[in-house]
Amino acid sequence: MEQTIGIGLLGAGTVGGTLVRRLVGESSSIAAKTGLAFDVRRIGVRDATRPRDFEVGAGILTEDTQSVVTDPSVDIVVEVMGGLDPAGDLILTALRAGKPVISANKELIAARGPELISAAAEAGVPFLFEAAVGGGIPIIRPLSETLAGESIDRVLGIVNGTTNYILSQMDDEGAGYADALAEAQRLGFAEPDPTADVSGADAAAKAAILASLAFGTWVGSDDVYYEGITSIDADDIAFAAGFGYRIKLVAVCDRTDAGVNARVHPMLVPEDHPLAGIRGATNAVFIEGPAIDSLLFSGPGAGGDPTATAVLGDVIDAARETLAGAQVAPRIRFGNGHIVPFEEIPTEWYVRLVVDDQPGVLASIASEFGKAGVSIRQVWQEDVDDRASLIIVTHGSLESEQRTAIDSLKGIPEVHDVASVIRVLGPET
């Protein structure tokens, strides 16, 4: 006894195309496991005449995206077109018409999540987005359902495969950033315009979603501080290794009594931390809570096939709930928690300075750190001709104090360059 569900697809790029091929090619195994049959009834695209790597019947491909969500034969809408417009309004239209929506659009969800989730709740239909974070890694559902009863304290994620690939290459090959980026582009791990990835913006949208689901307090894109990897130097990777760390671009979401915070920045991660071993384009999410201690999820964070698996899981789930004919209660609610500004969060820093190699320099530097209220954990000096690289690792102190300390260093005549400033996943933060 199979029931056929009509699917309307918004977008037919890598993920959309893969999804169509799998809904057709794997229909019998999906039906055997779930008792459900799916029929792709409309696919909204920008150019319906463009050749596609899948076959569908005449009239299914359309440039009239609105018709995808309004077509009465479409039971579930899958949005894999990306971008804020028109994806957001199309999703709202579908939800208000009582259709479950599956989206892989992290940018949109991080920007308009509460509005979309409320619209789904009002209509009593599911709005699911497992594919928005971590590609094929099941993470949205575990966070919002399996761990609903856990008071999660912290989520640390390597959620951008491009930057992790570049940093891994720099680490393995001793390559500079530019060379590693070029290699990543050649192999298809980085886009021709890599800005969204290397700037940290892509990871920031994912951090917003992870924090919101983990803590039950809505954290939007605008609430997430982010820094990318463009200024990471091969020297820093080598120095960090000398101290027992690897440099990773980390999405950090944490909750304290004061509230919650989410941010993305490069970080020195201790070699024995599970995230330190995540190499190449792999993604991973590390979750800490009082009862579960820590959990690690890792796997492919992007790509058509893994992402299509995540979308397909949501489609099957939505179909199951819809067929049950129920008004579906939302899986998570957002309270009025406080978002703590990053400046008020304790951080630990690795600082690399180029200084004159002469007596008294360290004293001046240490004095500026002290005035800012930052104490120094570790100092390491390496001479290069008449200059020296001075590496300082600080104890935990407020982000604002760390920034004050760094700014003041620039006023010391013997300090020629504050070459690198990278936060540390340390024992106090």
Q: Catalytic residues, which ones?
A: 206
Measured distance CA(393)–CA(350) in Å, rounded: 4
| Interface with a second copy, residue 82, by CB under 8 A | no
Measured distance CA(123)–CA(90) in Å, rounded: 15
Tell me the closest approach of the beta carbon of residue 278 to a second copy, in angstroms.
10
| Interface with a second copy, residue 32, by CB under 8 A | yes
CB nearer to a second copy: pick between 175 and 332: 332
- Smallest CA-to-CA distance from 105 within 75, 136, 76, 84 is with 84
Measured distance CA(423)–CA(45) in Å, rounded: 43
| Interface with a second copy, residue 188, by CB under 8 A | no
Residue 151 C-beta-side C-alpha neighbours within 13 Å: 6
Kindly identify the residues of this chain, within the stretch 306-325, that bind a second copy according to CB under 8 A. 306, 308-317, 320-321, 323-325
| Interface with a second copy, residue 146, by CB under 8 A | yes
Tell me the closest approach of the beta carbon of residue 381 to a second copy, in angstroms.
34
Q: Given candidates 222, 257, 293, 386, which one binds a second copy under the rule CB under 8 A?
A: 293
* Number of residues engaging a second copy in binding (CB under 8 A): 62
| Interface with a second copy, residue 130, by CB under 8 A | yes
Kindly identify the residues of this chain, within the stretch 338-397, that bind a second copy according to CB under 8 A. none
Kindly identify the residues of this chain, within the stretch 204-233, that bind a second copy according to CB under 8 A. 216
The region of 99-107, 288-296, 384-392, 400-408 touching a second copy under the rule CB under 8 A is 288-296
Cβ(8)–Cβ(19) under 8 Å?
no
Kindly identify the residues of this chain, within the stretch 249-278, that bind a second copy according to CB under 8 A. 274, 277
| Interface with a second copy, residue 327, by CB under 8 A | yes
| Interface with a second copy, residue 153, by CB under 8 A | no
Q: Given candidates 57, 188, 192, 290, which one binds a second copy under the rule CB under 8 A?
A: 290
Q: Given candidates 6, 86, 138, 270, which one binds a second copy under the rule CB under 8 A?
A: 138
CB nearer to a second copy: pick between 188 and 290: 290
Q: Given candidates 194, 266, 289, 426, which one binds a second copy under the rule CB under 8 A?
A: 289
CB nearer to a second copy: pick between 182 and 296: 296
Contact positions vs a second copy (CB under 8 A): 22, 26, 29-30, 32-35, 124, 130, 136-138, 141-142, 145-151, 216, 274, 277, 289-300, 305-306, 308-317, 320-321, 323-329, 331-333, 335
